[in-house]
Amino acid sequence: MPTATNGDVELYYETAGAGPTVAFVEPAGYGAWCWSWLVDALAGPVETLVWDHRGTGRSDAPPGPYDVATLAADLEAVLSDHGARTVHLVGAGLGGMVALQHAREYGRAATLALLGTTADGSRVDADALRGLQAPRDDPDALRDSLRGAFSPGVVEGHPEAVDRIVGWRAEDDADSTGWAAQIAATTGFAMSDLYEVTTPALVVHGRADAVVPVEAGRDLAEDLPRGTFEGIDAGHLVAAEEPTVVEDALTGQLDEHADLDG
């Protein structure tokens, strides 16, 4: 089980496949399960790397609140431990904020894919974000809270997939303390100097996102020097709701910028 350390915090990660490294950074509170479909599709032609934020899954859970700069330093510790010279970062929600911060502060990011995120935490609906949390030992609450993460009707229309997600959440999600610490990092984030992030950036946003409005995603793409925007019919967890659409967009970006792989 590979682990990296940032100070005295131990961070769990795992990799699959071979090729250019694509690292996934999850949203607040959720475990790495939310990347399962993309990782399964991509591992092979690329090397996929998933890891658990501090406060989540198998990583340590020091007291919060957390901030995005610390989480970006955690990501750098993971990438350094793994020996990834360059990396394509895929971040959702809080993970997109961490990817932005990392790209500005460190020199490893070849491309960014930012899903359902914003550079301004004040644009996050904090109540909707808190509503995604549920006790890990309450399957009914875990299932019900997914309604805020997906488009209307998805939970009712895909019961088998939702049951699988509920099982993963019970094992991998943060507890209430970890959720609170990561929500604080999400809502407290603000990056005004986006002109410094010159990394090619694909911004993908669900048109039915109830946590981060789609307008925030459009604004993010416009404010990034090399940002492009793609809206899709999905809720907040676009990679779990429409993995094939996100895979196609991500594969196109990787192909376009294959010359940046170190």
pLDDT of the residue at 117: 98
For strand 9-16 and strand 47-51, is the pairing parallel, antiparallel, or unpaired? antiparallel
Distance separating alpha carbons of residues 17 and 39, to the nearest angstrom: 9
| pLDDT tens string 219-249 | 999 999 999 999 999 999 999 999 999 999 9
Q: What pLDDT does residue 210 have?
A: 97
In the predicted model, is pLDDT for residue 111 greater than 70? yes
40/109 Cα distance (integer angstroms): 22
pLDDT digits (tens, 9 = 90+) for 114-173: 999 999 999 999 999 999 999 999 999 999 999 999 999 999 999 999 999 999 999 999
Confidence label for 262 from pLDDT (cuts 50, 70 and 90): low
Q: Is 252 helix (H, G, I), strand (E, B) or coil?
A: helix
Average pLDDT over residues 102-119: 96
* pLDDT number for residue 87: 97
Residues 197-211, mean pLDDT to the nearest whole number? 97
Which residues make beta-bridge pairs with 89? 23, 112
Distances, alpha carbon 12 to alpha carbons 19, 50, 51, 185, 221, in Å: 21, 9, 6, 20, 31
Rounded Cα gap, residues 32 and 24, in angstroms: 8
Q: 195-207 b/e with 16+ CB inside 10 Å = b?
A: eebebbbbbbbbe
- pLDDT band with cut points at 50, 70 and 90 for residue 44: confident
Task: Provide the pLDDT confidence category of residue 197 given band limits of 50, 70 and 90.
Answer: very high
pLDDT for residue 260 is more than 90: no
Q: What's the mean per-residue pLDDT of the chain?
A: 95
- Give the residue with greater pLDDT, 107 vs 207: 207
Examine the pLDDT at 29 and tell me if it is beyond 70: yes
